[in-house]
Structure 1
């Protein structure tokens, strides 16, 4: 039985006609089972540059290009490079070379020029003696010797890079070449030192052993993390099918950047925080890390959680796509990976608690059971404000202010009396409260609690606070914790009671908490500082900067939305966007203004109709709106114009239908083509949403509005169109400057 190694799908499967894909799978399946089968027509190429190259018949008109590697141990391995029409495949095979880079030990598949005479795979590329004219990289001190001699970049690529006039031109070169060399160039554009790049990509510092068998060196190089950017082992037919059928859109399932792989596999002596912009792969790392922790110990109790149930469904779906045999724990505290939204996690803790009375008394001031019904928080706050004469300043007597005060201050500190509330510190709250104001706020909080008891309901934040208290009491009494490892995605949106519960869920120690966050994507709640909540990172944090989803052109628009604003991460440190880069190129985003809402709707429908003929699944097209009302109107309007669109709310995307969803719901999603509709001066930022925010906290609310549009703009992989009628949003003003 032969081993199969596949080159990165973005190259090996790109452009294949849909009818060819099943044939490629059939060919590789047969190759894996019996490479001696005569029907495969595995043939060497006369006059080929590399003796290992082979071609195989996929069908009458298409051939696969492969390399056959026969190490002394481990059996025959075929490295599949791709499938092309017959003549093109032969031309590629004649020039293809599989070699170990002599500088860094990475396995490379390269194409020589038609007339070139290749150097032996163990020899460095020919030296280039003349320095090119100075460009962007040269001006900051990088030389040809640095790029070729210390990083191992191909001399021709290095010359092009040194001639690039700015970082955008360098981005274009990176997008053109792909692979580890592209990522290394983007690191240079971000100002990363060469030694740091070598460390990040785990380049070898040991000289290449040229006396070892060449095929053995190739197999050893395959295990290097940076080699896995371009190559991966395929483990069995099921994984082969997923890779083939998944195509480019699911490439993350198999391929990890060396830096990402480090965060998947490394152990940490305490909580670890991984930050990075949209599309940099934080969720990918979390998913792979959860599986890796379970592989290390099949009896481990791993919790993978995120902000809401919809995102949790996505995580579970992606986990099952990554590994269909993975153990998903149905119950918290059982071996396997428990995947739920954090509110469901809190509810499960309370359900399993037994006697919850002492914890509810500590948090809510009364010994009671936790009902199953949840309080409609916004509605109850409005009713309380209208019915209770508290005397509170009207600018503070709003559901938004009262709910955040209740969650961030009262519940987070287990406040049950006015005396406690009058003395408690309120760090991070923009509005200062005098003693009379605190008395007025407390009067409304007491009324809110009474109303909830009358309705036999409890709010999600209250459940979280009670769950955290219960776990804390259990630990004090010597009971075992419910989890061995906790991984948190979209961590920037969690509030204080979330974090107190998560900290109490797992014992402090090795690999206890893994936290994935992007402060630029915080669209809910108030900022928190983990250190104040008992979660000590202490230098165990890293940041991802290379974007794997969004094209460079779309990324520039998304980044422009954040310009001029100051963000801080969960450790209270400033968070910059300056070094985010993408190696994918595509068309520029289109910004379109229309004279009326009807004209805008008509244009959105026409744009979708123009995309549909070139789209295999219309579910990869999405329209994003600012509000639920706008979303529902869009679905109806598209239906009237003959487009089969579906609302995307708590459900997963429905294949065969254009998806219409709010910008909030788009968090954690990605689509090939995206239209941001209604991005006008009234909706983005939302004038209605900001009306209830006190002036002291208006700046924080505006940051969330920026973040929301940034989240929406970064959902598109390939095409992005932004539309509005009337005056356009001020958040678009910096794009193109």
Structure 2
């Protein structure tokens, strides 16, 4: 007999108080050990249309809902007596007649919501607009292929733009996703059709997104101890396929915000560690807070007790370079600051009496060309690519510039300083010359923010071959680095790039508005495309609010009232985040939290308890985070795009790059919201506000 849990169970378990959760877990462990033990009290749920639903007494009022047959035992739900019974009475477990996947199906006649609204004539009022049904032209057979339960075919065919989301929440996930694709003009990927004689219905690819077969007590403990981390137990078929796929070389998974790229990266890392006892894996990303979060999730997924985690290193890009530099050369590197570099460039130009180029141009050329590509000498500077830079430099100009850069580098060296690209470069040169590498596999999250030096280092510290380099990232969330060719650096992902299309984190309304900030199709320098069209969110929510205020004080009071309203509706303070463009605007966020009567948690690299506090931080710190409600505030006209960045531009292409990355940054902040999004600023607000409401920018077919 197989023993499974359904995704509906951990969600329900998480809503119970800690003491009740403990009692439920004990009962579930007992059931796995011996479902027939006489101490377990089973009661048939008489009003259920599914004769296999039973309740198990946990305590005086808590009931566990299980589904048991001769072949399977499924933990489905838990709640207090009456709501637990009501849940079971409205559902049945069945094998879909076409796909062969096990599904939890709501019993149509027991669903109370009116899903298809028929227009009612009201005298002396205008006739209501009757929207056409979206799926009337599809036959029963066509809809069944997408996993629609037979009972729901008529409702599906009658659904309109107004009712599709109301209907979708009652359908199995694969059916809902396919219908949402069809509704926006996309051709959904057909679900896998597997005969029940060939595969257990609970192990069908679509069933595995909602059912997980528990192989042992340790796996069950994982699922019960961390019920909020659904990603650790249940995977979408598209995610599972990428996790398990064998790639002949470097590979990348992409997708818009909330589609589960990080989930895939962590599962892939865990799979490598479990399947290869000799693997030494690097899991890396661009910042320390994100690296800490990745490490916690990997420990949860892989399990310390199995000896897996000691074989993995989790560090940000700079942390990897620092540790390997120390390993290679026996001392820690001393990293130069931006001020050190600007001072060295200015001194070198004065010393060499070169006045043709401004300090701004020298700093830009150093950062984006000379230091980024680790140009070693004058001849290399003549040949280095200056991708996208519109200020063309002739041979004579480069001959004049090179001594400045060479002298500035010597000045830094005399102080014992190395820029971060130099540190990455030293590590790259050291390990590129060695057959033995410090890691057998590298998995990179937020890969869109890799620069030239970082990518070179990762390629040098990981051996070439199948499945050794894996990247996860969204080109639309690139906020740090100028685009460059990965292929030129020997990391060719062409033909090994996959895109995720199902958004789990962000409501349809928020995702739709945020997607207007970006192009429909994003292409990297090597021609690899990420198509944002056809992405669907799996749940509905209120429309984002866009507000402008006459002054900063009015905005503070407006945000404070928004916070009060949310908390009054049951949103916990720790589920609310306020983000601003830079440190200069943090005071407005602090004031808003104080005016609302709450305490703030200022996001940083420190690990702090978020309970009872509202998070505030800059947009850069929003990466990788998720909140039920987000306010992106203080987006004034001179703040977003940030005027300081615009004023430091030295090249026409840099101005385009500033606007592009500022737009990406705004997109990142907006897409941290799950259910509620408010964007605000002082009039005149950011020019990006108009894009959020411009329906012509919406990704379409």
Partner secondary structure for residue 389 of structure 2: coil
**Structure 1 position 600 matched with structure 2 position 555:** yes
C-alpha change, 1:569 and 1:59, in structure 2 (3 Å) is farther
Q: 1:109 matched to which residue of 2? A: 104
1:519 aligns with 2:475: yes
Within 1, Cα distance between the matches of 2:172 and 2:401? 58
Q: Deviations over 1:627-666 (max 9, x none)?
A: 0222255336634764211211212453222211110111
State the match for 1:361 in structure 2. none
- Structure 1 residues 115, 627: closer, same or farther in 2, change over 3 A? closer
Aligned to 2:621, the other structure's residue is in SS state: coil
Contact 1:547–1:583 (CA under 8 A) maintained in structure 2: yes
Please tell me whether the aligned partners of residues 589 and 616 of structure 2 are also in contact (alpha carbons under 8 angstroms).
Answer: yes
Contact kept, 8 Å, 2:274 with 2:308, in 1: the verdict is: no
Distance apart, 1:387 and its partner CA: 6.6
Counterparts in 2 of 1:570 and 1:174: CA distance versus 1, 3 Å: farther
Aligned-residue offset at 1:301: 1.1
> What is the match of residue 52 of structure 2?
52
Offset at residue 285 of structure 1 (A): 0.4
In structure 1, how many angstroms separate the alpha carbons of the residues matched to 2:218 and 2:559?
39
**Which residue in 2 is equivalent to 1:393?**
357
Q: Which position in structure 2 is the counterpart of 1:623?
A: 578
Match of 2:321 among 323, 329, 346: 346
2:122 maps to none
| Contact preservation (8 Å) 1:686, 1:705 | yes
**Aligned match of 2:506:** 550
Does residue 153 (structure 1) correspond to residue 148 (structure 2)? The answer is yes
Q: 2:366 matched to 1:402?
A: yes
Corresponding residue of 1:126: none
Is the aligned partner of 1:265 residue 2:252?
no
Over 3 Å counting, the alpha-carbon distance change for 1:172 and 1:497 in structure 2 is farther
> What TM-score, normalized by structure 2, do the two folds share?
0.87
Alpha-carbon separation, structure 1, partners of 2:568 and 2:303 = 32
* Whole-Å separation in 2 of the counterparts to 1:726 and 1:440: 47
The answer for the alignment partner of 1:173 in structure 2 is: 167
Q: 1:376 aligns with which of 304, 317, 337?
A: 337
- TM-superposed CA distance for 1:581, in Å, is 1.2
Instruction: Tell me which residue corresponds to 1:97.
Output: 92
CA distance in 2, matches of 1:532, 1:539: 16
Q: 1:137 to 1:110 in 2, by over 3 A?
A: closer
SS in 1 for 2:372: helix
Please list, as runs of the form range in 1=range in 2, the aligned pairs for 1:21-60 lying within 5 A after superposition.
21-37=21-37, 40-46=40-46, 48-60=48-60
- Measured at CA, do residues 673 and 242 of structure 1 come closer, stay the same or move farther in structure 2, by a change above 3 Å? farther
The offset of 1:401, in angstroms, is 4.3
Q: Is the 8 A contact 1:666 1:711 kept in 2?
A: yes
- Please give the alpha-carbon distance, in whole angstroms, between the structure 1 residues aligned to 2:565 and 2:160: 36
Deviation digits for residues 683-735 of structure 1 (CA, Å, limit 9, x no counterpart): 11112211112223211221111100000000011221212122121112033
The equivalent residue for 2:414 is 454
Within 1, Cα distance between the matches of 2:307 and 2:644? 42
Q: Hey, what does 1:227 align to over in structure 2? A: 207
**Distance in 2, Cα, partners of 1:697 & 1:94:** 62
CA distance in structure 2 between the aligned counterparts of 1:46 and 1:158, rounded to whole angstroms: 27
CA distance, structure 1, for counterparts of residue 344 and residue 394 of structure 2:
24
Structure 2 residue 397 is the aligned partner of structure 1 residue 468: no
1:442 aligns with 402
After alignment, is 378-387 or 707-716 more displaced?
378-387
Determine the C-alpha separation between the residues in 1 that align with 2:47 and 2:558.
55
Deviations 1:81-131 (A, max 9, x none): 212443343344345322211211100122334589xxxxxxxxxxxxxxx
- Per-residue CA deviation, residues 354-394 of structure 1 (Å, 9 max, x unaligned), is 5xxxxxxxxxxxxxx87522100255225633773332433
Q: SS of 2:517's equivalent?
A: helix
User: How far is the alpha carbon of 1:308 from its aligned partner?
Assistant: 2.3
Residues 145, 178 of structure 1: CA spacing in aligned structure 2 closer, same or farther, 3 A cutoff? closer
Aligned partner of 2:125 in structure 1 is: none
Q: Which residue of 2 aligns with 1:295?
A: 274
Residue 599 (structure 2) aligns with = 644
Q: 1:552 to 1:220 in 2, by over 3 A?
A: same
Matches within 5 A, 1:296-695: 296-325=275-304, 336-354=311-329, 372-382=333-343, 384-385=345-346, 388-389=349-350, 390-394=354-358, 396-397=360-361, 399-409=363-373, 411=374, 415-474=375-434, 479-563=435-519, 567-569=522-524, 571-612=526-567, 618-631=573-586, 634-635=589-590, 638-639=593-594, 642-652=597-607, 654-656=609-611, 657-693=613-649, 694-695=651-652
Q: In the alignment, is the contact (CA less than 8 A) between 2:545 and 2:677 conserved in 1?
A: yes
User: Relative to 1, partners in 2 of residues 1:142 and 1:49: Cα closer, same or farther, differing over 3 Å?
Assistant: closer
TM-score (normalizing by structure 1): 0.83
Task: Judge conservation of contact 1:519–1:570 (CA < 8 Å) in 2.
Answer: no
Q: Distance in 2 between the 1:28 and 1:675 partners? A: 40
Partner of 2:674: 717
Q: Does 1:702 align with 2:659?
A: yes
Name which of structure 1's ranges 264-273 and 84-93 shifts more when overlaid on structure 2: 84-93
Aligned counterparts of 1:371 and 1:111: Cα–Cα separation in 2? 61
Query: Alpha-carbon deviation of 1:556?
Result: 1.4
Match of 2:691 in 1: 734
Partner of 2:190: 197
* Alpha-carbon distance in 2 for matches of 1:419, 1:645: 54
Which of the residues 245, 253, 258 maps onto 1:279?
Answer: 258
Mapped partners of 2:40, 2:591: distance in 1: 52
1:640/1:11 CA distance change after superposition, 3 Å? closer
For the aligned residue pairs, the C-alpha RMSD in angstroms reads 3.1
Uncovered stretches (5+) of structure 1, i.e. residues with no partner: 72-76, 117-132, 210-216, 355-368
Which segment drifts farther, 392-401 or 723-732? Answer: 392-401
- Distance in 2 between residues matched to 1:6 and 1:669, nearest whole Å: 26
Larger displacement relative to structure 2 (44-53 or 491-500): 44-53
More deviation, 22-31/694-703: 22-31
Q: Which runs of 5+ in 2 are unaligned?
A: 112-130, 695-701
